[in-house]
A and B are shown apart, each in its own frame.
Chain A
Amino acid sequence: MNVHHSTNSLETPESRGAQSGVKPVENVIDCDIQELYYGTFKAVRDTRIPIEKNAITAFIGPSGCGKSTVLRCLNRMNDLVRGFRFQGHVLFLGQDIYAPAVDPVEVRRHIGMVFQQPNPFAMSIYKNVAYGLKLNGYKGNRDELVEQALRRAALWDEVKDKLHKSGLSLSGGQQQRLCIARAIATEPAVLLMDEPCSALDPIATRKIEELMLQLKERYSIAIVTHNLQQAGRVADKTGFLYVDTSQGGRTGYLVEFGETERIFKDPQEAHTKEYIRGEFS
C-alpha cells in the first residue's frame, strides 16, 4: 500500500493527499460490498457507501442488518474472523485495501476505530494514548502528542493530573473519550465508530456527540448507531440498511443513502419511511 511516501507516518490527513502522487479524491473511502460471507452465512450484499472527507457518515438500521459488519470492512477488522469472505472492493484514497499485496495491519494504522464498549488497555492513561505512537515507532515528542490527543478528545482537563493512573480507573464516558484519544493520537485519516455511545449515559453521550462535531474538522468519521436522533444530530450523510429475509437467511443490504436531512424528512424507500417513523426499531 502506498498511501504516502514520507517516512514520517504521522502527517496530518491534509498533508497526506498533497504529498502522495494519488490524484485528489473527494471521498476518503469508497466502499462497494457485493457479497460478504461468514462461512456459509451471507451477511451483507449490495452495499455501496462513500465516506466523505471531513464529514460524518452514519449507518442506521434495525439490529442484525449488518451495519457493524460493513463498518468493520472498512479497516479489515473482519479479517480476524475465521471464515470471513468478501467480494467487492474498498478504496481508501483511491487504493483497494483488499488488494492481495496490502497488509491489513497497515490499513488499521491509517483507519482508526472506536468500539461499542469502552476498551482502554489495563495500563496508564498516558500509555493508552501513546500505544499507537509506540506501534508506529514514533521517535518525536510523545508527551506533546499525547497531550494534543487528550485535548482533542476533550479529556485533558479531567486527567492531566493523573496521567499515570490506570485507564480503567476512569468513568465509562471518560474511558470512551480515552479510546478516542488513543485512536486519534496517530492522526488516522478516518475514524470508524461502532455504536460508540451505546454503553454510555445521556450526558456522556452528549459529550461524545459534541466531540465528533469538533473532530470532523480534522478527520473523516463513519459511525454506526442504533439511535436515530443521534444520527440526526451529528451526521452529514446517512445510509439506511435493512435485513432481507426473502432467501431464508438474514442478509443486510443498503436501502438508501443520502444527505441526513433528506433521509429523515423525505425518505424515498418504503422501508426507510417505516423505520424513520419508528414502526420498528
Chain B
Amino acid sequence: MEIPSDETQISRPPTSWEKFADRVFRGLTYVFAWLAVLLVLYIAGQIAYYAWPAIQERGPGFVTGQTWDNNRDVYGILPEIWGTLYSSLLALIVGTSFGVVAAVFLSEGFLGGFLYRVLKIFGCQNHPVLGKLPSFLDSLLKNLIELLAAIPSVVYGLWGIFVVIPLIREPCNWIHEQFGWIPFFGTSLSGPGMLPAAVVLAIMILPTITAISRDALVAVPSKLREAAYGMGATRWEAIVSVIIPTASGAIFGSVVLALGRALGETMALAMLVGNANRISVSLFSPANTLAALLANNFPEAGPKEVAVLMYAALVLLAITLVVNFIGAWLLQRATAGLEGLR
C-alpha cells in the first residue's frame, strides 16, 4: 500500500518482526491445542495396544462374562460394568436432587435474606459491619460447598468406612428385615456395599453440581426474574417456572460432568463398594466397579493379567466417552430453545 505521507504521519505498516511474532504465536496455539487432542488419542491407542492380546483371546465374552478367577484364567467384567453404572446412577439421583436444591438456596440468597430480616428486627441492617454480614454469609456458604470438592477421595473413603457404614448398618438391616421382599432391600448390609459407596459418591459429586448450577442460576438475566415477579409470581413459582428452566442447560451440563467423575472415581469406591463380583439390584449388597477392579488387581498382575486389565480399562474409557457424548448431545438439544436470550 502506498499512502502519501508527510512528517506528521504516525501510522506505519507492521514490521517484519511483528508479523513474525504474530505467526509464531498463532502456530503455538495450534500446536498446543492439537497436542491435547493427540495425547488423548495416544493414551487410548496405547491402552488398546496393550489390551490387544486379551481382546483377541477373549473377544466380547470378556464383557459379558461374570466370573473373575486368576487361577482358572477366566475373566469377565459384566458385574463391574453393572456396578459402575448402578453406583453412578444412584449417586447421580441423590447428588442431583440435593445439589440443585442447594444451588437454588445459594443463588437466591435465602440465608442472607433471612439474616437481613433478623438484623432489621434489631434495627441494625445499615450498621457498617453488621450490615455487610448477609452478603458475606451468602459467599461464605458458597465457598464452603465448593470446599467439599477439595477433599481428597481417600479421605472420603476412610470416612465412609469408619463413620458412614457403622452409622447406616443398623437402620439398613432393619429395613431389610421389614421390606426384604422389595428387590432393592433384598440382602442385609454386612459392611461395605452399594449403598455406602453411592452415598459417599453422591457427596463427592455434590460440589460439582452445586457450584456449576449456582453459577448458572445466578447468570439467569435479572430481567427474566423481574418479568416473572412483575407478573405476580411467588418466589417458588418464579424459581420453578422461569429461573430453573432458563438455567437448565448448564445444570444439565453439571450433571454430565458429575457423572463423568462418578464413573471414574476409584479410591473411595475401592474402599467402600465391597469388591464382590456380583450383579444385584439390592442396595445393601457388596458389588464392584471397573475402576475399583483395576485398582485392586494391578499390583499382582502378571503380563497376562495386564492385558486383561487394559481391556477392562478400555471398556471403562468407552463407557465414559459414550456417556459424555450422550450428555453433550442432550445438552445441545436442551439449550437449543434458549438461543437469543443473551
Contact = CB atoms under 8 A, between A and B. Distances in A.
Given A39-B126, A122-B245, A169-B340, A182 B223 contact: no
A106 B229 CA distance: 10
A136 B231 CA distance: 10
Interface in B202-251: 221, 223-234, 237, 241-242, 245-246
B190 interface: no
B185 interface: no
Nearest to A107: B232
Interface string B168-189: 0000000000000000000000
A105 B337 contact: no
B340 A112 contact: no
Nearest to B226: A115
Contacts of A156: none
B69 interface: no
Given A82-B113, A169-B340, A121 B227 contact: yes
B311 interface: no
B251 to A, nearest CB: 14
Contacts, number: 86
A108 B113 CA distance: 21
B338 interface: yes
Contacts of A113: 226, 230
Interface string A115-126: 101011111000
Contacts of A108: 229-232
Contacts of A166: 337, 339-340
A3 B20 CA distance: 75
A233 B237 CA distance: 38
A83 interface: yes
B37 interface: no
A168 B227 contact: no
B341 interface: yes
Nearest to B112: A82
Contacts of B223: 115, 117, 119
Given A109-B232, A168-B339, A82 B134 contact: yes
Nearest to A113: B230
21 contacts: A39-B125, A40-B126, A75-B230, A77-B229, A83-B116, A83-B125, A107-B232, A110-B232, A119-B227, A122-B224, A131-B231, A131-B241, A134-B241, A135-B233, A166-B339, A169-B339, A169-B340, A179-B227, A182-B231, A183-B231, A186-B232
Q: Which 7 A-B pairs have the closest CB atoms?
A: A109-B232, A108-B232, A113-B230, A168-B340, A119-B223, A119-B227, A117-B223
Interface of A: 39-40, 75, 77, 80, 82-83, 105-110, 112-113, 115, 117, 119-123, 131-132, 134-136, 166, 168-169, 179, 182-183, 186
Given A83-B125, A166-B339, 7 more contacts: A39-B126, A40-B126, A82-B109, A113-B230, A135-B232, A169-B339, A179-B227
